[in-house]
Structure 1
């Protein structure tokens, strides 16, 4: 009998209810799905074994890398997931070395069986899933900070508290409280990552990034890991190889310590869901540093490389030594394009601008505040989040096109590719579209909103600011929980609501936080602007 899976953690899940067949919509097969459930159960066991025990740096790393491995479109490789499960078990043995030989086993530190979660009462299952998926997203942020040598014990300890809670019989009120606490801790985690990035690479500065590709050998690097890009830039210096970002790596061009390399040339392609078309027969290797990997097509399978927790069967993986020689050799072998090639964004633009992090935006706060007071800026829209393949996502392109000409659009994450190549003009010398960075940079949006509220002596919900968010995977979940923790209301969320939100939990969130499912741009704008 063929194996069957159950997974409903991402937006594209089958039938808006869950992937239950031999493979998920993302391309993950039932074996990989089962192993990811086993890994999650092992992490819950690790979390319970950490109660009352001192953990080690290696324990924290196993927790973060294990959770990151289970984020959508990160790991499709059963072999590496099995190794991760073994690593988690070894770490648990350090915390409870005598547990396996105990004559009176309590079962507290056993691996949790995920089938128990999927069979819970629907509201309990929904809240526990909200916590689990939020923890997976937050783990990605904490992992990136850890790679740069930054960590926070409050953040690390909450991973154990949150994961342990999934294995216990807790009431809805307690689970909701934990979900909001996750939002609070994630704010601290995002602040930590912002500090790690800016202290390592400098504060982002606005920069125009071309979409053209020069002739000659080149490498495309995608994902979110800025440190991997730095290492690649160092190892390709003076080798006649140009480097192009893709997807969520685009904002790297704004960091002074990265853009100082003259062979960091521009951005290739658009958002992650277009990679199978855009990488088709590409005359260059592609290095995946984090999630957003799709099943690899034969037309470019010989030129895909992975590193960190990303893994795909048959692809060459760059290990902890970070020796990118195989990628460099492949770039020289393929040779790139014989002549310069012009590419465009989805709206026909030849370039885009990025680098409007909180440091840049707050440096012109006086100009922004004055423009609002004089009626030159009527409204701010934060239109951002994950992108995806479904046609409904054209909503975000049309929404931005129809925003008033005296409004500012802040954006972040790969959802910006729906409109980031459009020229909507300027207000007081400021572009109407300001890209604040990766989904990892959501802290910039929060900090900017808080600063504007302080400048106008009002609450965040009293600002002329509306959040119009698209979600796809688990990092969007932890960001949403942070926004709810901050008390932000009237968020427009789409293109579809999460399948793991039960009607009861959704009703609770709508009543408490006035979350709006997106409808159509015209109707939503009328409602927002009154």
Structure 2
């Protein structure tokens, strides 16, 4: 195997024996082959789109699910990958028949063999370095596009689950994957496709923002208890609001408390979800602490999207997966044809376990500062900027990981001036969101904007402030300090580049899949900088 799609890849260069995330070589290689199959499918669909045909929604859903299950920390189950690969063969055959003739390039022409052993033998053709003649910079850009598409698929999957779809994004999956097989495209054309990927990352986040806000009402400030209450419970982790809603509906009146975990914490700001009194708080911290936090848990855990780690034996019988999440031997809750799910098994087990024996003292933190809420304070913020009460804005967030050195973000947040506001989003906020940053100009200094897809909110807030002040976003007293871990963070970064945000500080390390020449392009055109130390970076910001 070879995989370098996440920030914690082995030695900063690539995992070659087993993924640092825990995925086996077999799973990694089947994921490569699945992407290879998606490219072949896209070769056919791109030709059909040229003829005026639109992809059917079932096909788009298959593409989204397939891309999403190859995201870091999503699906570790080899049998799920075998099933998805066999479905991909049927899909490609159907499109080939519809087009009326065979395409000759490798991805389109490849025919999946029958057994798992044969599939693994064939996976070598799909490896990142399978084409030794490919220009390294073009390979680098292609990999970045591929990882951006994986991030886009995760957001599209979430939006689709609550019946919101962006047709432009749906078409782009096929267009982009088709072009990733075109060896006639030069480096400049590949970079243009990279920026198009950023555009569609922005569009899918806009769609998901609309889906969440219209379905559950726009987030408003809400205090969340981060300690536990007596009684049976289920901890729900991931990102999917619809899963949380269905779980709340099915546990209503049954004496089961629901705790969010990880990136689910922003859901407490949505009126359509916080109205349930048994949504009692948030348990634990960021996703990478789950093996320790879940170890002796007297309740059940539901993983809805990415962020699953190998379940320890101490809780493997109490953790469930749903959607495209999977791990061999772990119970999975499928979606029924009508889009609903039956959570009765996990509910019954939670009741039988008894839950926490007593209440802990209430400790609360504040969430719910999406773009609609934050911009409702726009007049107050603008006045504070003009009179000097607020001198700077920091966006400190992104996807967090477990590797040492990530305390940079905590130290940076603590070192920011008292006359600044910190906007935070994604799971990186767990480094510091329980600390007290006080207030400035009558507003909390720390504003939780939401999940990783809510970088869209940060963009909206920055754009509105820039317009009101008569400047560009890049002229604002604004600094973006971004931590990346996996492919949704790549999509977020590409969206920021597409809207021409410059001067982003990125860390804790730079992606292994970015070559020096591609990095130089990003530095020269967008001013991307690697983080150094909080002291040095703050000194440069205020120089």
Provide the TM-score with structure 1 as the length reference.
0.95
> Which residue of structure 1 lines up, in the alignment, with residue 23 of structure 2?
28
Local SS of the residue matching 2:465: helix
How many aligned residue pairs are there?
A: 518
> Which residue of structure 1 lines up, in the alignment, with residue 237 of structure 2?
222
Moved more, 250-259 or 481-490: 481-490
- Alpha-carbon distance between aligned partners in 2 of 1:6 and 1:414, rounded to the nearest angstrom: 27
> Which residue of structure 2 lines up, in the alignment, with residue 152 of structure 1?
166
- Alpha-carbon distance between aligned partners in 1 of 2:345 and 2:538, rounded to the nearest angstrom: 50
Cα offset, 1:136, TM superposition:
0.3
- Alpha-carbon distance between aligned partners in 2 of 1:150 and 1:387, rounded to the nearest angstrom: 28
> Which residue of structure 1 lines up, in the alignment, with residue 120 of structure 2?
none
- Alpha-carbon distance between aligned partners in 2 of 1:341 and 1:329, rounded to the nearest angstrom: 24
1:197-234 per-residue CA deviation (whole Å, 9 max, x = no partner) reads 00100000111111111111000000000000000000
Say if 1:383 and 1:396, in contact at 8 Å, map to a contact too: yes
> Which residue of structure 2 lines up, in the alignment, with residue 377 of structure 1?
390
- Alpha-carbon distance between aligned partners in 2 of 1:478 and 1:484, rounded to the nearest angstrom: 10
1:140-165 per-residue CA deviation (whole Å, 9 max, x = no partner) reads 11111111111111111111111112
Which ranges of structure 1 fall in alignment gaps of 5 or more residues? 344-349
> Which residue of structure 2 lines up, in the alignment, with residue 444 of structure 1?
457
- Alpha-carbon distance between aligned partners in 1 of 2:433 and 2:10, rounded to the nearest angstrom: 29
Runs of 4+ in 1 over 6 A off after TM superposition: 98-101
Matched, 1:77 2:104: no
Matched, 1:335 2:354: yes
Change (3 A) 1:328 1:499: same
Moved more, 369-378 or 207-216: 207-216
Cα offset, 1:117, TM superposition:
4.9
Say if 1:66 and 1:84, in contact at 8 Å, map to a contact too: yes
> Which residue of structure 2 lines up, in the alignment, with residue 131 of structure 1?
145
Provide the TM-score with structure 2 as the length reference.
0.93
| 2:42 paired residue among 37, 40, 47 | 47
Matched, 1:394 2:407: yes
Query: Aligned runs of 1:70-469 on 2, under 5 Å?
Result: 70-97=70-97, 109-111=108-110, 113-115=125-127, 117=129, 119=132, 120-169=134-183, 170-321=185-336, 322-341=341-360, 350-469=363-482
Cα offset, 1:427, TM superposition:
1.5
- Alpha-carbon distance between aligned partners in 2 of 1:86 and 1:483, rounded to the nearest angstrom: 36
- Alpha-carbon distance between aligned partners in 2 of 1:265 and 1:110, rounded to the nearest angstrom: 53
Cα offset, 1:108, TM superposition:
6.4
Say if 1:411 and 1:436, in contact at 8 Å, map to a contact too: yes
> Which residue of structure 1 lines up, in the alignment, with residue 483 of structure 2?
470
Change (3 A) 1:341 1:302: farther
Local SS of the residue matching 1:296: coil
- Alpha-carbon distance between aligned partners in 2 of 1:114 and 1:353, rounded to the nearest angstrom: 46
Say if 1:58 and 1:91, in contact at 8 Å, map to a contact too: no
Local SS of the residue matching 1:410: strand
Local SS of the residue matching 1:408: strand
Matched, 1:497 2:500: no
Change (3 A) 1:171 1:199: same
> Which residue of structure 2 lines up, in the alignment, with residue 346 of structure 1?
none
Local SS of the residue matching 1:381: strand
Local SS of the residue matching 2:388: coil
- Alpha-carbon distance between aligned partners in 1 of 2:516 and 2:68, rounded to the nearest angstrom: 28
Local SS of the residue matching 2:141: helix
Local SS of the residue matching 1:391: coil
Matched, 1:8 2:22: no
- Alpha-carbon distance between aligned partners in 2 of 1:110 and 1:366, rounded to the nearest angstrom: 59
- Alpha-carbon distance between aligned partners in 1 of 2:332 and 2:352, rounded to the nearest angstrom: 18
- Alpha-carbon distance between aligned partners in 2 of 1:106 and 1:25, rounded to the nearest angstrom: 33
Cα offset, 1:441, TM superposition:
1.5
1:298-349 per-residue CA deviation (whole Å, 9 max, x = no partner) reads 0000001000000000011001131001110110111101112459xxxxxx
Cα offset, 1:114, TM superposition:
2.1
1:47-88 per-residue CA deviation (whole Å, 9 max, x = no partner) reads 111013232111100111110011000000011111112222
- Alpha-carbon distance between aligned partners in 2 of 1:342 and 1:79, rounded to the nearest angstrom: 45
Cα offset, 1:96, TM superposition:
1.7
Cα offset, 1:91, TM superposition:
2.2
- Alpha-carbon distance between aligned partners in 2 of 1:456 and 1:101, rounded to the nearest angstrom: 58
Cα offset, 1:116, TM superposition:
6.0
- Alpha-carbon distance between aligned partners in 1 of 2:99 and 2:204, rounded to the nearest angstrom: 32
1:113-133 per-residue CA deviation (whole Å, 9 max, x = no partner) reads 423655432211100001000
Say if 1:49 and 1:108, in contact at 8 Å, map to a contact too: no
- Alpha-carbon distance between aligned partners in 2 of 1:67 and 1:291, rounded to the nearest angstrom: 12
> Which residue of structure 1 lines up, in the alignment, with residue 66 of structure 2?
66
